Chains A and B, each alone.
Chain A
Amino acid sequence: MAGQRAAGVARVMENPFYVLGLRPQATRGEIEREGQKWLGMLELGLAAARRYVTPLGVGERTADKVRAALAELRDPERRVLAEVWARLQPVEGETAAEGEGEAAAGTDLSDASTSTSTSTSTSTSTSTSTSTSTSASTSTRANVGGLEGALKELGF
């Protein structure tokens, strides 16, 4: 999505439970162990430790984030809030924030060799919608991107 990241998005993306890869029911012992595990892996520079999943996409795990997460979860009041925002169990895959509405952007006007029949098949294969019940015309509206080179065509 366009624009600066909303505070709420940051709250989800940097939720301590997601950073540590834990569910809200985790015990204090589990939290401390997991935190130390990630710190150790990051110290060794293991690539697998550097990413974590959230419902809004993939985040980059750093030692600072892990330490901040541990500190946040040691405070019971802050942990209660963090538990609410970590209620959703993230799954790997295309996320709403990353995928929505951006699929077909950037068609290049300068490419003059494609035929009309190719165009038709392209138009029906780029849907990123995750919900159902849209008509063919609606999903066309949802996925039409920009026309690269339009300014050049107009003499700019």
Chain B
Amino acid sequence: MSTLVFIALALVLAAGVLHGWIVRRGWVRLAMASATLRVVRGGQDGDGVIALAGARALLRQRVPSEADAGLVEARLARQRSPRGAGLAAHGLLLAARGDREGARVLLASVATLAPAVCPAAALRLSREWLIGDAAERGDWAALAAMATSMATSMSSEDVSARAALLLLLGQRLTGAEGAPDDATLARAQRRAYGLRRTPAALVVLLTRARLVEPGSAPASVSGDLPEPAAAPVPADDLVGEATHRHVTLLACKGAAPRLVGDAVRRAGRAWDVAREDGRLEATLESRGAQLGALPGAGSSAARTLVEQIAADIAEIAASGLDIEVPGELGPTARRGLHLLRERTLSEVEQAARALHRRAEARRPLAPLDEWREWLALERAYLGAMARVGGGAAGDEVRRVLWPEVASAGSSLACWLWNDRSLRAFAQAIFASLARQATLVHDERLAAIHAKNAALSPM
């Protein structure tokens, strides 16, 4: 008996000591086994913790093995009610399979779960993966935003020294307010690497970062408007100038919101000038007549052109828009943004109604898919504000969409809590609804959802 106890103790001790090394070697089966011993020692969210260790080891493999991924997946499938560790494991599994966007969504959502259902290690791993991913993509603005959030809601122990260095780097590279000075960056570098050599590429970025004055510019600014590869337009060619501005706008797809806002304003203004007093319509009508078109063909082409311009403005602005002075927008830009607003409202309303109907009809999805569907709606709702340019327009969209989103979210969360035992997810939905209700000054729902969110999910 004492021998068995000794062996058990030795195994647990070895698991503790060797676990990190096993994970780094990419040995999925062993990582899961050593995590099992750690769970036996008194951990919570057992299957999630074991799967998380496996997923982490899987990510260390040069080419992730599908057989090993299957092991992690099988462990995750045993979870009836996923919690933080399981969610993080799902996220890392997606990352190992190359679905970075999916991983980003799931791992970002880990932080929205209540601490009671989310082991600190799962939260830390999620944050660190998101930090590393943003650094690899060069999304320094996202890192700066994470650093700001960390300053208010996290302690420095919540991420490793290397991750903390990347957060500070993001702040400094974007010139954000409160960005670290040179001495703070140097201290963070020493903490992260000590006597080890700092990787050269990181040294390059640190050197660049020191060229940016802290607080020198808003994070949203990220360069100049792109120029079309075209010959200059004669000064008196108003349609040519408008086309030039429009092509510039088209080249801005996915650019920083402030840049897109600037391009929308300029293109809209150029079209306004070209269309002044019906000039453009008259030109097209006369050109149509020269080409042998039927009477009215030019006017019809002009209407199509106006629709195309509005559709382009709406499409490019949909990736995110920041208009410095909304009052400066002319009729063409406003028409495009109105189209975007209508599309945005329609998309979010349809998604909310579909979720509401499904929840009311009690048509279940797999636990993780329930969570994904909520995340998609929440993201669309929050993104709708940015899509229409934020500010007063964003607030108005928030108020218009809130009743639909609140109904869908409430139905889903109550169903998940009462009938599905998916309390970790339900509680996070209640907490999100409480925050959003507060923002639209819906005190009644804010109080109800805050009360629900305070219930113990255990």
Contacts and interface: CB of A to CB of B under 8 A. Distances in A.
B315 A8 contact: yes
B201 A11 contact: no
Nearest to A139: B223
B137 A146 contact: yes
5 contacts: A114-B204, A145-B138, A146-B139, A151-B133, A152-B132
Nearest to B233: A88
Contact of B201 (A141, A142, A148, A155): A148
A152 to B, nearest CB: 8
A96 B251 CA distance: 6
Nearest to A142: B223
Interface in B203-232: 203-205, 207-208, 211-213, 216-217, 221-231
Given A87-B239, A114-B204, A100 B199 contact: no
Interface in A14-49: none
B225 A155 contact: no
Interface string A56-91: 110000000000000000001111110111011111
Interface size range of chain B in the complex = 35 or more
B255 interface: yes
B354 to A, nearest CB: 23
B223 A146 contact: no
Most chain B C-beta atoms within 10 Å of own C-beta, residue among A93, A112, A129? A112
Contacts of A104: 138
Given A76-B291, A109-B201, A7 B254 contact: no
Interface stretch (B3-11, B292-300, B385-393, B400-408): B292-300
Contact of B230 (A9, A89, A99): A89
Given A76-B297, A95-B229, A84 B204 contact: no
Contacts of A77: 288, 293-294, 297-298, 300-301
A115 B200 CA distance: 7
Interface stretch (B43-51, B149-157, B241-249): B241-249
Contacts of A93: 229
Nearest to B312: A8
Given A109-B199, A146-B136, A141 B229 contact: no
A124 B305 CA distance: 42
B394 to A, nearest CB: 22
Contact of B224 (A90, A91, A131, A136): A131
Given A8-B311, A107-B201, A123-B207, A147 B239 contact: no
Contacts of B316: 6, 8
Query: Per DSSP, are chain A's interface residues mostly helix, strand or loop, or mixed?
Result: mixed
Contacts of A88: 228, 230-231, 233, 240, 243-244, 247
Contacts of A154: 128-129, 131-132, 160, 162-163, 166
Contacts of B166: 147, 150, 154
B59 to A, nearest CB: 5
Interface of B: 24, 56, 59-60, 92, 95, 128-129, 131-133, 135-140, 160, 162-163, 166, 173-175, 197, 199-205, 207-208, 211-213, 216-217, 221-231, 233, 237, 239-240, 243-244, 246-255, 284, 287-288, 291-294, 297-298, 300-301, 304-305, 308, 311-312, 315-316, 319
B258 to A, nearest CB: 12
Interface residues of A, number: 79
Given A91-B231, A151-B129, A156-B56, A99 B202 contact: no
Interface of A: 1-3, 6-9, 11-12, 53-57, 76-81, 83-85, 87-97, 99-101, 104-105, 107-116, 118-120, 122-123, 129-131, 134, 136-156
A152 B59 CA distance: 9
B288 A141 contact: no
- Between A119, A150, A156, the greatest number of chain B beta carbons within 10 A of the residue's beta carbon is seen for A150
Contact of A6 (B132, B225, B250, B293): B250
Which one of B137, B174, B253, B255 has the greatest number of beta carbons of chain A within 10 Å? B253
A12 to B, nearest CB: 6
B303 to A, nearest CB: 10
Contacts of A80: 284, 287-288, 291, 293, 297-298, 301
A145 B308 CA distance: 34
B335 to A, nearest CB: 15
A131 B252 CA distance: 14
Contacts of A109: 199-202
B204 A97 contact: no
A89 B243 CA distance: 11
B135 A146 contact: yes
A91 B230 contact: yes
B203 A114 contact: yes
B208 A144 contact: yes
B164 to A, nearest CB: 11
A62 B45 CA distance: 58
Contacts of A146: 135-139
Contacts of B213: 137
A131 B266 CA distance: 15
